[in-house]
Structure 1
C-alpha cells in the first residue's frame, strides 16, 4: 500500500443546515482527489446543497481535482445548490481561469463573500 507523497487534509465544518465549508490543504491530484470526493459525497448524504471550498492551502491541482469540482458543481445544480471556491492559490486560480471553470463556478475571496452569493441565490430561487 503506497502513501501519497503529498497527503490531502480536508476539514468539514457545517456553516448552516444546508451549507458546509470544506477547508482543503495539500495537493489535489490523482493520488488525493478521491479523499475530497468522499467528503463531498458524505455531505450530499447529509442533505447539504451548498459547498464552500476553501482552496487557500492547495498549492497544486491537476485534472483529477478539477473533475471533482466540476462533478460537485453539476450535482449541486441538480438540487438547486451551489459550489463556491474560496481564495484559491495563484497556481490553482490560473488553472481555474485557463479551463474556464472560474466562469461557471463562483470564486470568492473569503467565506463571507461566498455566503452572500449563497444567500443571493436562495433569494432568487424563492
Structure 2
C-alpha cells in the first residue's frame, strides 16, 4: 500500500498523520517529512500512527533518528495512535518509553 503523510501545522506545533505501512520503501519519505519539520523550527511534532498497520526496522530507525534530531535542537517528537503490531514493536524495542505520547 505504501505510506501517505498529511501534515497540519499550527505555530510551532506540527501533526503528521500517517496512513499505510512504514517499511524500507516508504521510510525515506517519513524521514524527510520529520527532518523538514524539525529544521523548519517546529518545537513539537506529533506523529499519528492510528492508520499505520506495519512498521519494520527501517521505520524504527527513522523514528529514532528523528527523535534524536529533534532533541538536539530542543524540540519534541512524540508518537500517538500506535496500536496492534505497531504498538507491539515499539514496546518490544523499548521505544515506547521515549516516543509514545501519553494522553
TM-score (norm 2): 0.92
Q: Note the C-alpha offset of 1:44.
A: 2.2
RCO higher in 1 or 2 (8 Å CA, sep ≥ 6)?
A: 2
* Aligned residue number for residue 26 of structure 1: 20
**Root mean square deviation of aligned Cα:** 1.2
* Aligned residue number for residue 94 of structure 2: 100
Which ranges of 4 or more aligned residues in structure 1 deviate by more than 4 Å?
none
Q: Note the C-alpha offset of 1:76.
A: 1.1
Aligned residue for 1:11, secondary structure, equals strand
Within the candidate set 49, 56, 63, 1:55 is matched to: 49
Structure 1 residues without counterparts, runs of 5 or longer: 1-5, 114-126
Cα deviation digits, residues 89-118 of structure 1 (max 9, x gap)? 21100000000000122334xxxx4xxxxx
- The whole-number CA distance in structure 1 between the counterparts of 2:61 and 2:75 is 18
TM-score (norm 1): 0.76
Number of residue pairs aligned between Structure 1 and Structure 2: 103
Cα deviation digits, residues 48-104 of structure 1 (max 9, x gap)? 122100000000000011011111110111112111111112110000000000012
Tell me which protein shows more strand as a share of its residues: 2
Q: Note the C-alpha offset of 1:45.
A: 2.8
Q: Which has the larger radius of gyration?
A: 1
